[in-house]
Amino acid sequence: MSEEKCGCGCGHDHEHEEEMETMTLTLDDDTELECGIIGVFEVDGKEYIALLPVEDETVLIYEYTEKDGNIELGLIEDDDVFEKVSDTFYDLWEDEDEVIDCE
C-alpha cells in the first residue's frame, strides 16, 4: 500500500473524482451562473456554502440552509460576519490551488 495520501485532507489513500458537484444560481437580472460546490461549513452555529463559478476564479460564499429538501442561500450582509466566515473558509481550504479570492 502506498504511503501517499489523496491530498483532500481526509487522510485516506484513494482517488477522488475530478469533477465537483455543481449548482446553478439565478441572479437578480435572471441570468444563470453555474458554480462548483467547494463545500458547506459551519461558523458560530450557522452553515455557509462556498461556490466557485465555472468560468471564474472568485469564490462566492453564502449563508446556507436546507428546508424540506430545498436549498436556500442568503447574502452575508454584516461585514464582520463576512470577514469571520471568509477567514474560516481560507483556514479550511488553504491548500486548494483553485481558491483565489472571496466575495
**What percentage of the chain has pLDDT greater than the value 90?**
59
CA-to-CA separations, 7 to 18, 36, 54, 57, 58, in angstroms, rounded: 12, 19, 22, 20, 22
pLDDT at 51 over 50: yes
Q: d(Cα 101, Cα 52) in Å, to the nearest integer?
A: 10
Element holding 84 (H helix, E strand): helix 79-92
Say what the pTM is: 0.71
Query: pLDDT digit string (tens) for 56-80?
Result: 889 999 999 999 989 999 999 999 9
Give, for 89, the enclosing helix (H) or strand (E): helix 79-92
The residue ranking higher by pLDDT, 18 or 100, is 18
pLDDT given at position 4:
41
